[in-house]
Amino acid sequence: MQSNNIRSLVFIALFAALFIIMSSLTIKLGGSLVPITLQTLGVVLSGLFLSPRNAFLSIFVVIVLAAIGLPLFSGAGGIAHLTGATGGFIFAFPFCAMLVSIAIGAFLRMSSSKANKGLAVVVFFLIFELFSSLFSYLPGIPWLMHITEFSFQKAMAVGFFPFIIGDALKSLVGAILAISLTPYIVYIRSSTVKRSNQNLTIKG
Ligand SMILES: O=C(O)CCCC[C@@H]1SC[C@@H]2NC(=O)N[C@@H]21
């Protein structure tokens, strides 16, 4: 097995574990169907440090483990939970991580990512808001409506509006981490890519 494959496996396992920890930190407001969690921050971290494929896999593997019954999503697991009220969010997460990784990779290849830290914080924040948070609502809200038979307004009241500020704070934390850890992000991302595919113009 090539060393970059072994590294990929190690990093997928590490970020899957990190996502599981983020997923266990959950608050359910007044018995709400949709909990406040740090999952979107876990998605951000996978997308920041891993290639698009590995970022996807790091979250997907958690879904597979939850599907066989492990309580990895807000303390719950099993097919019933994965297809329950929050199933749309759960199945969006691997795609969110992949999209964050694609966008971060594109941004890190641009010279402006190094030149202007203020601009970089804003771009990181927007990438996280768009792809780790807002994208998860695209399947999250329609699936919540389907399972609960809520109207669109009720589903938004239960599954979107209570999370806007919290999700933005998580994106901000992600953006600050991204700025502080850029050299490590570039190093880890490039260390799991085959030598022939490495883009040597990436700047850290
Ligand atoms: O573990 C689960 O069952 C999935 C919960 C999904 C929670 C969503 S993700 C986007 C939004 N932000 C939060 O903090 N909670 C919701």
14 CB within 6 A, ligand 1: no
**Atom number, ligand 1, closest to the C-alpha of residue 90:** 4
Summarize pLDDT for 158-168 with one digit per residue, the tens: 999 999 999 99
Q: What angle do CA 30, 64, 149 make, to 5 degrees?
A: 40
129 CB within 6 A, ligand 1: no
Quick one: angle between helices 87-108 and 39-49, nearest 10?
Answer: 30
Q: Are 202 and 111 in contact (CB under 8 A)?
A: no
Model confidence, pTM: 0.91
Query: Nearest 10 degrees: CA dihedral of 162, 48, 89, 72?
Result: -100
pLDDT at 200: 38
pLDDT at 107: 94
CATH number for 2-202 (one of 1.10.1760.20, 1.10.630.10, 2.60.120.260, 2.40.30.10): it is: 1.10.1760.20
Q: How confident is the model at residue 48 (pLDDT cuts 50, 70, 90)?
A: very high
Mean pLDDT over 159-179 rounds to 96
pLDDT at 195: 55
Mean pLDDT over 177-199 rounds to 80
Summarize pLDDT for 123-160 with one digit per residue, the tens: 999 999 999 999 999 999 999 999 999 999 999 999 99
Summarize pLDDT for 50-88 with one digit per residue, the tens: 999 999 999 999 999 999 999 999 899 999 999 999 999
Summarize pLDDT for 96-120 with one digit per residue, the tens: 999 999 999 999 988 666 778 889 9
For a substitution probing ligand 1, which of 20, 28, 40 has the most ligand atoms within 8 Å of its CB? 40
Distance from Cα 181 to the centre of ligand 1, integer Å = 26
**Atom number, ligand 1, closest to the C-alpha of residue 38:** 14
